[in-house]
Amino acid sequence: MKISRRTMLKAMGAAIALPTLDIMTSNGLRASTATQPVNRLAYLYFPNGIPRGIWHPEKVGPHGELLKLNEWMSPLEPFKKDILIPRNVWTPQGNGHGAGTATWLTGNDYSRRKVSAGGISVDQLAAEHTGSETLLPSLELSMKGKGYFSNSLSRNAISWSRRGIPLIREVEPRSIFDRMFRPATGGATDRSVLDMVLQDAKSLRKQVGNADQQRLDEYFDSIRALEKRIEFAEKQTLRIKADQTLTDSLTAPEPGIPANHEEYMKLMMDMIVLAFWSDATRVATFMLDHGQSNRYFNFIPKVRGTWHALSHYGNASGMTEDDDGSTSWDSVETKRDMYAEVNRWHHRQLAYLLDRLKSISEPCGGTLLDNSMIVYGSSLGDGDDHDEKDLPTLIAGRGAGTIKTGRQLNFKKPTDLSNFHISFLNRLGVEIKEFGTGDKQIDELNG
């Protein structure tokens, strides 16, 4: 017996896509003997750049092997064999908080007059290729932005359609969950999606082997746990709102947005994990904040001030236009270290995502992380300099066996970020030789 990869458990108001199972392969053989692994692509964007120097490993072997990451990237130390850290990546068309954010995935220049990022973004080009095989062509996720530029279009868009239209970002965990598991025609309901498809789930378990039963149990447990976490976060936010208390990032609670910023981010990252695991989509983008975030990170010990203010660490007086008028620092070094701590905090969230992906084994061989390409980076180099040189960029996952990880790629000349986009598209089966300002693959990804 064999079932399709697109088989779903359905009920009125719910539709659950299934993870890859042995029963989906010919004659029920293990997928590693019958099929090639599915490759996925995700881009994770963070704003405001980094303080120069905190991205480079502390110790590298003679062939670029990552032997030890630096203190600021230490949360990623357990995954150093699963990542690549390229040096000397840049964007020839320039950058900035607005234009750089908007064109990070298009490789072109931004026109404010036309409200154009110069063309389709790499994720949407990938989605055109893989979308016919999945429930959703792609997911566009974002944390709800904070600060003066929260409504700036160019600072809030990294995904652009072929017609040059910025795609709507999903910022509420429940709306993303419902998009994956509750059809628009199903109607609103408070019932768990798992309870709604329980009969189909029981019937399927009777038809599969022990290994597939275990995979289904792990998958269903993850869905139920995610539902409960979303429900708990919503209740906590309502409680804080009723108490007229600020969230941990010093803002008023908002409906649908968890008050705890770390829990909020983990919920969003779990949406990517679940989307890739279920094959609901193979392409995702996630903005960790808008392109000039003024979010407070005072919940991090010994950190004071907004992200954007900290990024301009060259002036510690607290009197520049980037500061809030009430926070100051005793030295440039103190302010720079706080800025680096914000980066370290985000590395810890990335480590959470990589750990979740790495914990899920696939029948076709390897883990969900092995069969993904996770690109994490910013459109700014040094935040204080506002430059486009040596952009902080990290690649995680082996791209279904097409990328050799565990290395630093030390390019002698500035290397166009668009050439990386071309390389990832080719690995998804999109035959393309030029994209944005790029005109070649990055052969060094192969080792």
pLDDT in tens, 381-432: 999 999 999 999 999 999 999 999 999 999 999 999 999 999 999 999 999 9
Residue 115: pLDDT over 90: no
- Of 186 and 84, the one with more pLDDT: 84
Q: How confident is the model at residue 1 (pLDDT cuts 50, 70, 90)?
A: low
Q: How confident is the model at residue 113 (pLDDT cuts 50, 70, 90)?
A: confident
Residue 129: pLDDT over 60: yes
Residue 322, pLDDT score: 82
Mean pLDDT calculated for residue range 204-224 = 92
Residue 330: pLDDT over 70: yes
Residue 147, pLDDT score: 75
Residue 145, pLDDT score: 87
Q: How confident is the model at residue 323 (pLDDT cuts 50, 70, 90)?
A: confident
Structure tokens at 335: 């302010």
∠ CA 118-50-304, rounded to 5°? 120
Amino acid at 353: L
Residue 34, pLDDT score: 46
pLDDT in tens, 229-243: 999 999 999 999 999
- Of 357 and 325, the one with more pLDDT: 357
Residue 32, pLDDT score: 42
Residue 3, pLDDT score: 76
Q: How far is CA 120 from CA 157, 166, 185, 226, in A?
A: 12, 9, 30, 33
Residue 199, pLDDT score: 87
282 and 41 Cβ atoms separated by less than 8 Å: yes
Mean pLDDT calculated for residue range 53-61 = 96
pLDDT in tens, 76-99: 999 999 999 999 999 998 788 889
pLDDT in tens, 332-342: 999 999 999 99
Characterize the bridge pairing of strands 66-68 and 59-60.
antiparallel
pLDDT in tens, 262-317: 999 999 999 999 999 999 999 999 999 999 999 999 999 999 999 999 999 999 99
Residue 188: pLDDT over 80: no
Distance CA 437, CA 106 (A): 9
Residue 224: pLDDT over 60: yes
The SS3 of residue 14 is strand
Mean pLDDT calculated for residue range 359-369 = 94
pLDDT in tens, 16-42: 888 988 888 655 444 444 468 899 999
* All domains of the chain in start order, with CATH: 37-164+247-446 (3.40.720)
Residue 296, pLDDT score: 96
Distance CA 12, CA 18 (A): 17
Residue 440, pLDDT score: 96
44: nearest Cα among 288, 404, 267 = 288
Residue 114: pLDDT over 90: no
Query: What's the pTM?
Result: 0.95
Residue 206, pLDDT score: 87
Residue 182, pLDDT score: 83
417 and 391 Cβ atoms separated by less than 8 Å: yes
Residue 278, pLDDT score: 93
- Name the average pLDDT for the chain: 92
% of the chain beyond a pLDDT of 90 = 78
Mean pLDDT calculated for residue range 220-227 = 95
143 and 288 Cβ atoms separated by less than 8 Å: yes
Residue 256, pLDDT score: 94
Question: In this structure, what are the phi and psi dihedrals at residue 197, rounded to the nearest 5 degrees?
Answer: -110, 20
Q: How many H-runs (helices) and E-runs (strands) does the chain carry?
A: 11, 11
85 and 394 Cβ atoms separated by less than 8 Å: yes
259: nearest Cα among 237, 232, 282 = 237
Amino acid at 151: N
Long-range pairs for 230-236: beta carbons < 8 A, 24 or more residues apart: 230/173, 230/174, 230/177, 230/267, 233/173, 233/258, 233/259, 233/260, 233/263, 233/264, 233/267, 234/174, 234/258, 236/260
Residue 148: pLDDT over 80: no
Residue 23, pLDDT score: 86
Residue 13, pLDDT score: 83
Residue 30, pLDDT score: 46
Q: How far is CA 429 from CA 130, 231, 267, 370, 423, in A?
A: 9, 39, 30, 17, 10
